[in-house]
Structure 1
Amino acid sequence: MKSLIVVLSGLLTCFASVYAVEAPVVMFSYREIPAIVNQMPNDYELETHHQTPSEFNLFTRKLVSSCPSDAYIIIDQPGVSLDDFYPMENGILAEDDSLWTHTRKHMAFSGTVYTGSVQLNSGSETDELHLDSLTNSLIKQCYCQIVDVDLTRDDGKPFDKYIDTRCRIIRVKFDPLPTTSFSRLVTLTANDEMINKIMGFIPSPFITTIYTSSSPTEPKSHHTDPIFQDILIEKKDPRHRKQWENHIGIVERRQKEQAQYHKRPSPKDGLPQFQKELKPPHKEVGWARARKYAEKVNTKFVWQWESDTSQIDPNEVLLISNESLVALIASLIAGGLSILCLKFSFGLVRGEKQSKLEQDKLNPSVKKSDNKKNEKESEKPSVTSRESK
């Protein structure tokens, strides 16, 4: 009997060490990713979307396969549970609704939104989220650089601010959550503000955020509604599906205009200095070159013809200063006067020739006498040459 009790206690211990724990997952990307949006379940009003670790890994691979963002924020919050996303049901919040304020705001502006849970087996080494493998995939496919957030900095900055749009992987590892309800609420609110600060330090608006936990805690109650159900229902509505373009369309067009001045770096190269990327890789042509030259000289108007006229923007106007305008008018007047002087002088010469011809016609005898004199003068040197002989 004692041996049976020992065996049963051992089995219970082993079973307790590998029980299933649900890790919450919140993902949102500012761009719409068709590979994710088209596969989103339509039963958000019914129940939470559960995934296995292998399904979650496949999901994240699809998410980053097309490199949709300039920055990827991977957040690991130890100790978080599904109860933390349902504060009103668990009595954490009575009248205050400030929890997850910044996260909900960014999700409302995003084109791709997903929430669910991953079933992890506690104590098992195979069922993991493999966040490190996701980071390696981003480095190989999207040429990203890793930036680890230091939460203990004295200046309050999560990391050194950068100004270029090279791909970054922002890794955030929060401290484990406390167990008491009030301390847990304060910590989650502070972490939500830190996430908002991190997103504000990124110069590009194209950000993908993954919030999960590699070591979650078991929820006290069972939740059937998905996390942030109201946002998911709104995003699935076809009338609201394209709202993210209104928020990000202007920035996206500006990004495309600036993309021609930057070369895509090689994955083997390190992160270059921003000053090296300022130099455009191509030569400026057309109106842009003419405008720069006119601004430099400030006294000349330069026409620069381009063989490919499709690159010339007719809406661009080349401004001329007052001095250059006066010089241009003066040169035109001087050129006109010189042309008139040439015409006048040419007319005088032509008039003299015509007058001589008319005189020769009127006095033919004078012309004959002149011809005889010329003949006599031409014969004189021949006579002198004979005498010398």
Structure 2
Amino acid sequence: MKKKVAFYTLGCKLNFSETSTIARGFEDEGFQRVDFSEAADMYVINTCSVTENADKRFKNIVKQAQKVNPDAYVAAIGCYAQLKPEQLAAVDGVDLVLGATEKFKITDYVNDLSKNDFGEIHSCEIEDADFYVGSYAIGDRTRAFLKVQDGCDYKCTYCTIPLARGISRSDTLQNVLDNAAEISSQGIKEIVLTGVNIGDYGKGEFGNKKHENTFLDLVKALDTVEGIHRLRISSIEPNLLKNETIDFVSKSKTFVPHFHIPLQSGSDAILKLMKRRYLTNLYLDRVAQIRRTMPDACIGVDVIVGFPGETNEHFLETYHFLNELDISYLHVFMYSERDNTVAADMEGVVPKNVRNKRSKMLRGLSVKKRRAFYEGQLGTNRTVLFEGENKEGYIQGFTENYVKVRTPWDPALVNTLCKICLTEIDEEGLVRFEFVASEVTI
């Protein structure tokens, strides 16, 4: 009988890509991968440390695994496992905790899957995380997350990612192209590029600061890979999103008009406290350049509320800045204190109830922005990629510029690209459409 292993991933697309690669390693060792809700001999939890909520969820996920199989071997990997290994090892039921360099060698640490009395820790000094492991995740039959870069050299005062993942380093251009070709050969229609700071793509291993290639080189090379229908850039820092990249995407055959650009605050005073590498004028310029070249592009924004020192005036600066900006949606994060960050010791702590209120205001603004963006797209012809899940009798998909559409479930549409005309917004806030082409392009 094959041993069974199940995985649970917290956090970002990068974590999902790494979980998939680690899971393939288990399959190569003769394990059978099963869903986390099923009985397994081993459960692997890939942790996140970006928000306080992700930390708290870990214990609940361990309990969830123990309910299904109390005798199962439980391993913790990922960012939180690197930052707080002793804390995770002390959780009842946890047998193994692996740090940033060890997680990719997890099968080397797994022997007979006997439960340990105490969690066994194998972790590194983060300076040792100076090599690169490529990975990609196929979440469903339609879309894959392709990791191109890891780590970060930035020193944002609120962030633990450099402590959890180490220095900025990248995959070789050839490896990225090979992985992209491998993904497309499996019938996947869309690839999303992921990393910690993908605009910094090109730095080699072992702390080599020299860029072997640039992010623009990467984008241009990927555009030539045969069989890829769509390429989507995930999150990219505004100071690293150059005009040349925007212009190339606007003319590209495969890169879609969708950008997600972290802002974090619309107040220059707060951006300086955060030690971000730009001010609001540069951000305005990036949005204006995208709109000049791609008027229908979707632009998403990350923003943090309740950072230490953020007064009502600073928050209103952010609110008005975003309200007047021609963007499409927001991802709103409520600031949470992280150990070993500069911000954790800053004065001007914003009460939790105030953080909550500000978060709600920006989430409300995001709903308005998305609605306005969708309304602006009505009457236009787009291409939709349909996903594989039957959601309450509907099939959903995204247009190239990230408008979410749905229509009554039809399995024949799964993983197909169709020409459509956007017609109306339904009661769920999604967009209905009419088919333009009777032929479905595959």
Instruction: Name the TM-score, length of structure 1 as normaliser.
Output: 0.25
The answer to which structure, 1 or 2, has the higher relative contact order (CA under 8 A, 6+ apart) is: 1
- Structure with max Cα Rg: 1
